[in-house]
Amino acid sequence: MTIEKLHPGIYTCAQLLDRKNNLQLKVAGVEDVIVADEVASHLIATSARNLGSVDVLSELLTVQIGNQFYKIALPESWVGISFWESAERLKDSFDTILIAIERQKYRSKETLVNPSQDTPLLSGDLLVVIARSLPQINCLPRSKKRKRIS
């Protein structure tokens, strides 16, 4: 909390042992709070519901090998296209999977995980993707068309 007081613009992520202390951190300006025991419990529950999902989750949550989560800025040329069109562009051009949109909403952020396919992308949106490396999407023009095979 001292870091936030000294540098209010700095991004801060904190780990808590008990969620009841979450409000104090949010008031202090901490952007993200992780309650490790809750995360572990959710991983175990997900594994029990979906046998074999631990391998997928392990790959996504480690940085040593395979695919990772990345957050990339939406190019201005993509503003107004649908979630689905951007998902297709990312998969076709970068073999990347779009899973969410992070959007500023007033003074906080809103994360839309798996939004409807027609959700329009807005200026300032961040795209949350799964990829083997950080995709450089700023090089793609808005009018890029895919060839359809019938």
List the domains of the chain with CATH numbers.
Answer: 2-61 (no CATH), 68-139 (3.30.70.1450)
Both tokens of residue 10? Answer: 């700095």
Separation of alpha carbons 25 and 32, rounded Å: 9
Both tokens of residue 79? Answer: 């503003």
| Structure confidence at residue 83 (pLDDT) | 97
Give per-residue pLDDT as tens, 76-114: 999 999 999 999 999 999 999 999 999 988 877 899 999
Separation of alpha carbons 71 and 104, rounded Å: 14
Convert the chain into a string of H (helix), E (strand) and C (coil).
CHHHHHCCCCCCEEEECCHHHHHHHHHHCCCEEEEHHHHHHHHHHHHHHCCCHHHHHHHHHCCCCCCEEEEEECCHHHCCCEHHHHHHHHHHHHCCEEEEEEEEECCEEEEEECCCCCCECCCCCEEEEEECCCCCHHHCCCCCCCCCCC
Confidence label for 126 from pLDDT (cuts 50, 70 and 90): very high
**Would you tell me the crossing angle of helices 36-49 and 53-61 to the nearest 10 degrees?**
140
**pTM (two decimals):** 0.75
Angle at 118 between CA 105 and CA 66, to 5 degrees: 80
Separation of alpha carbons 66 and 127, rounded Å: 19
Give per-residue pLDDT as tens, 25-53: 777 777 888 888 888 888 888 888 888 78
| Structure confidence at residue 144 (pLDDT) | 44
